[in-house]
Every structure is written in C-alpha cells, then in structure tokens.
C-alpha cells in the first residue's frame, strides 16, 4: 500500500521532459519511482510521460536500468505494452531517424568560432556521424561553417585562423565593422574564396541548405541548388549580410536582393529525419553552452529557443563586436568540447 501511494505521488509530480535535455529534478523522481517498483512488483499500471524527440544525456543508464527493472518484475504499462515492447519501439523510432540525420548551425556572427570548434570535433572524432549525415544547414556564420564542413573539412584550421585575423582587424577599428570606409563584405568574400574548393557548388548541391531572407517580401528561403561556385558564394554572402552592420547594399542573387537568413530563420530544421542543432547560445539545442544557475525561461528568436540569461545577452554583443583573442580561443575550445560530449553521449565518438 505504501509503495502504491509512493508511485502515485511520484506520477503526479513527474515533470515533463524537455526537448533535447532532462530537467534537473528528474534524478530524484527516477530514484523514487525505482524504489517503489522494487518494493511492490505486482503493480499493473504505470504510465511514462515523454516527448517524441528525447535525446538522452548522462542520465540515460539510470532510466534504462529503471525500465529493465520494471520489465523483470513483470509490471505492465497502462497502454497494454510491456516495457520491453515499448523500449523496442523507441529504439526502432530512433534507428529510423538515424537513417536520415542532418546538422544545422545557428546564426551567430563572430561566435561562429564556436561552430568551427564543433566542426573540428566532428572532423576529428565524428567520422561515424558524418558518414550518415544527409544534409548540412545553417544561417549567417552557421552557413559558412556548414559549407566548410561539407566541402572542405581539411580547411577548418585555415578557417579558424581567418576568423581570428578577421576579428582582430574588426576590433582595431574605431566603430568595429560599421566604421565608415570599411568593407566588411569584401573581407568576408576574400576569406570564402580562399577556402572553398573549385567544385564546392557540386559537392553542396542538394546537401547544403542556406537560410537567406528576401528583402521584397521578408520571407525566408533555404537554398540548396547552386549553378556554379559564384552562386554558392553569393548565397553565403547574402546569408551573412546584416543590414547597416555589413553595409547598405543588399546582396543580389538571381535578380533579387537578399539579406541575413538569421533574421527570419536562424536555425534551419529540415523536414525529413532528425536535425542535430548547434549554437553558441544556450538554449534547447543538441550542442550548446550549458548555462547553470538560471531560471529556465526561454525566448524564441528567429526560430531558436534561447535561454533568457545575462550570458546570452553578452554573447549577442560578442556576435557583432568580437571579444578578445583569448576569449575567441576559449570559444573554439568550448565548441570542440561540447561537440565531443555530444558524440560520446550519442555513441558517435571515434
């Protein structure tokens, strides 16, 4: 009787799992739940609440052990399926999603150095993951890193050095990138042209999705077909063009004018399969900084669910006005470490 009451109390207090992460209180609830099951094995109904897009973190083993214990004790799920069947069904769903995996890099300006750190980790330790990735997507700086990872991953180190130099050059200007006479887009184009291989547009065809915004109607488009290398470069420049900050004249492509895709869709989620999300901003994402000690309040910015925190406000400023060289190096390492953690968690590490 005690166990029944305990289970019911735990059931009522169960906090819904949030997409891409586990609530900080779940460990206590799992322990209470497990204790009740071990003490009262003949219970007939226990209902598990979850979202359809959970990606387990370091607490995975505890939850899987809990399911195994329930199965051993012969407890039945209210839906009529036993724990084994439910677990098998979940694994089947995950396997199906793994057949079509995508990577998406968020818009973030100079914080793209974080993306380069993550890309370096994928290139060095994520061979198993990259072999099954069907598509790469991104906005603004995220689209640049997605392009490099797809078409020229061996150039990631060169991209890192270019970003450090670009940031240093911008810091020396009186008003940063908006200093009169400074051609931000020309400098960026030079970097892109020096990195991308001659056949980049062919490699990227139907595998790279770049977020851009049409100036006429304000609508977002994901471009995935590129007739030539120059078209690819124009689309990447358009995705990175922040009005006023990067210049006055929008980028022309196919007879129309385009600006930063991060303004309308800062983190493209592709419709087929699972899209792994990467961002230097803390939020509901697969790979991102894990800010601690904050109330879980989120705000949706250009289709990104970002944590409302002082740290993210500081990052937003750093995206437009690059921090010191030391901080940039730290951001690169943070991106690398967070991506490695993800690879280990998802069993993709090699």
Catalytic residues: 140, 260
Tokens at 175, concatenated: 């008003």
User: By the 8 A CB rule, do 18 and 55 touch?
Assistant: no
**How far is Cα 145 from Cα 113, in angstroms, rounded to an integer?**
9
Helices (H), the chain: 2-13, 26-39, 60-72, 83-98, 112-125, 127-132, 141-151, 156-172, 184-195, 200-204, 229-239, 310-320, 325-345
Q: State whether residue 275 is helix, strand or coil.
A: strand
Residues 346 and 127: beta-carbon distance below 8 Å: no
Structure tokens at 178: 């908006």
Q: Measured between alpha carbons, how far is 326 from 160 in angstroms, rounded to an integer?
A: 13
Q: Where are the alpha helices (DSSP H) in 40-177?
A: 60-72, 83-98, 112-125, 127-132, 141-151, 156-172
DSSP state of 263: G
């Amino acid at each position: 009787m005690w166990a029944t009451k305990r289970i019911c109390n735990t059931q009522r207090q169960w906090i819904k799992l949030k997409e891409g992460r586990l609530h900080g209180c779940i460990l206590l609830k799992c322990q209470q739940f497990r204790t009740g099951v071990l003490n009262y094995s003949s219970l007939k109904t226990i209902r598990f609440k979850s979202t359809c897009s959970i990606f387990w973190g370091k607490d995975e083993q505890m939850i899987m052990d809990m399911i195994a214990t329930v199965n051993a004790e012969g407890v039945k799920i209210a839906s009529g399926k036993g724990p084994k069947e439910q677990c098998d069904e979940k694994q089947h769903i995950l396997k199906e999603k793994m057949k079509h995996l995508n990577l998406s890099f968020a818009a973030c300006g100079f914080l793209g150095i974080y993306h380069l750190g993550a890309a370096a980790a994928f290139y060095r330790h994520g061979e198993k993951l990259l072999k099954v990735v069907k598509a790469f997507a991104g906005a603004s700086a995220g689209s640049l890193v997605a392009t490099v990872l797809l078409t020229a991953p061996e150039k990631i180190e060169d991209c890192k050095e270019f970003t450090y130099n670009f940031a240093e050059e911008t810091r020396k200007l009186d008003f940063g990138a908006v200093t009169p006479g400074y051609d931000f887009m020309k400098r960026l184009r030079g970097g892109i042209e020096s990195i991308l291989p001659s056949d980049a547009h062919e490699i990227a065809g139907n595998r790279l999705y770049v977020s851009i915004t049409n100036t006429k109607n304000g609508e977002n488009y994901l471009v995935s077909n590129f007739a030539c290398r120059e078209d690819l470069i124009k689309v990447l420049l358009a995705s990175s063009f922040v009005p006023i900050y990067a210049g006055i004249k929008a980028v022309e492509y196919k007879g129309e004018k385009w600006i930063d895709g991060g303004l309308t869709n800062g983190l493209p989620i592709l419709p087929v399969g699972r899209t792994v999300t990467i961002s230097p901003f803390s939020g509901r994402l697969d790979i991102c900084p894990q800010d601690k000690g904050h109330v879980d309040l989120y705000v949706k910015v250009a289709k990104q669910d970002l944590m409302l925190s002082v740290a993210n406000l500081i990052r937003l400023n750093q995206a437009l006005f690059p921090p010191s060289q030391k901080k940039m190096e730290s951001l690169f390492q943070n991106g690398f470490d967070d991506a490695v953690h993800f690879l280990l968690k998802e069993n993709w590490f090699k």
